[in-house]
Structures are given as C-alpha cells and as structure tokens.
Amino acid sequence: MDQRYQRQVIMPDIGEQGQEALLGAKVLVVGTGGLGSSILSYLAAAGVGHIEFLDEDTVSVSNLNRQILHGNPDIGKKKVESALETLNRLNPTLHYEAHELRFTRENGRELIKGMDYVVDASDNFETKFLVNDLCIEEKIPCTIGGVVRWDGQLLSVIPGKCACYRCVFTDIPEPGVMKSPSELGIIGVSAGLVGILMATEAIKHVLLFPNDDRLINHMLMVDLRSWNFTKVEVKRNPSCTACSACK
C-alpha cells in the first residue's frame, strides 16, 4: 500500500480494504472549474484509481480566484490540459482520462457508462439536469452541486432509491430567471468548500457508507457569509419525469 495513504488506512472505517476500493473506483467529474478543481484534487489525493474529467473551456485570468487546478502560466491553455498536468503532479500513480468536450445528450451516456460514480461540477442548469437524467437512466449514482457568491448547495442521487435533482427543481429555469455566477459573482472559498463536500460524497459511496451518513434524500445548503449549514430533507416526487419510473 502506497505510503501516501497511510493516514487514511489507519482509520477504522477505511483500512486497507477501503483504500483498495478507492484505488479500484472509476469516477467521472463534469467540469474542471471552481467546483471541479477541489473535487478532482481531493479525489486524486484520496487515491481514487481511475478519474475521468471533461471541459471544453480555456483558462482565463478571471478563473483564477477559484479554479485552483490552474495558475497564471496556464492562461490560454485548455482547462483539461492544465488540470491533467496539476493532477499528475499531485498524484502520478493514478489513471486519468481528460476529455476536451462539453457534456451533451449525444456523448453523455457513453461518458458515464462504466463509471462507479459521477460528480457534476458544471456551471449551468442544462448540464446539471442532463447529468441527473442520464445517471438515472444508466443507474449510476451521482452528486450534483452549485455555488454562487457565498452560497452553495449539493445533494446525492442513488437512482431508483431516493429523490433526484429533478424531484427538487423540476425543470430548467426559463432564460433570464436565474442569474449566473458570472453575473452575480463568486468567492473562491465557496467553490472550494462545496467541491470538497462533493468529493466527500463520492468517497463515502465507494467506501459503502450508509445512506444516513450521506446526502441521500437530503440537500445541504451552505451559507458561508453567515456560517449557516442547513441539511434539508427532500422527498421523491412520484410524478418526477426523470426518476418516477426508475426502480
């Protein structure tokens, strides 16, 4: 066992068996921005053996207050290229696959097939709903989160077993109803912290933590300005267009 994981292996709820499970896990992260930066960093640090990620964007200077996978020398580079370089410096013993593309209905199903877990780190509702819907169809568990200003939220989905993202939000907001982080602003620590929490959910799933110890049928609301963390119970919608038929 690689000595880098020594502090994890000595934990009774991980041990060598848990670390082997992490090394054998396959996780897809959708996005390498603010959320994706901390998600990918901590999945790699924990030793998740096969990590795939995707992004079609390039690094700009306005990303650098929160997207810690990238630095000043990376401005103008493809984000997946910059992310791959950083992750290989962080933990070169793992297998990484970088996809320079956007998650769409045409490619999404193939991207998530064979994954043990999917983490949505996108910055738009269209992708979040699509990740939710395709993961349910392919019966692959996922965590979906979002951040703006000092606030964030996340929930996890086990297809057919709990409420999904669409049970909570129903449908994509009409154009102009919800402003984006580029319009409202965002402090980097919000993306960093929520991303870490999302990575934690993926790690707990691989380690077979019970649902009561995870965000199953619950959404965590984070307000860093007031230090308010609220865990809200959410219920499965029997008429949900995404998960009502999933058993």
Main-chain dihedrals φ then ψ at residue 91, nearest 5 degrees: -155, 95
Least confident of 184-188, 216-220, 242-246: 242-246
Please tell me the predicted confidence (pLDDT) of residue 1: 62
Averaged confidence pLDDT in the chain: 94
Please tell me the predicted confidence (pLDDT) of residue 43: 98
Task: Kindly state the greatest CA–CA separation across the chain.
Answer: 52
196 has pLDDT over 70: yes
170 has pLDDT over 90: no
CATH 3.40.50.2300 fits 3-233, yes or no: no
Cα gap 86→92, rounded to integer Å: 10
The count of C-alpha atoms lying within 13 angstroms of the C-alpha of 52, restricted to the half-sphere facing its C-beta, is 19
177 has pLDDT over 70: no
Averaged pLDDT for residues 65-81: 96
Is residue 117 classed as helix, strand or coil in its secondary structure? strand
- Reported as a pLDDT band with limits 50, 70 and 90, residue 184 is confident
Averaged pLDDT for residues 123-130: 93
Please tell me the predicted confidence (pLDDT) of residue 2: 84
Please tell me the predicted confidence (pLDDT) of residue 128: 96
Please tell me the predicted confidence (pLDDT) of residue 60: 96
Please tell me the predicted confidence (pLDDT) of residue 172: 84
**Could you tell me which residues come within 8 angstroms of residue 45 by beta carbon, excluding any fewer than 6 positions away?**
90, 91
Alpha-carbon torsion (54, 55, 58, 63), positive or negative: negative
Averaged pLDDT for residues 89-100: 97
Q: What residues does 54 pair with on adjacent strands?
A: 30, 99
Averaged pLDDT for residues 17-29: 98
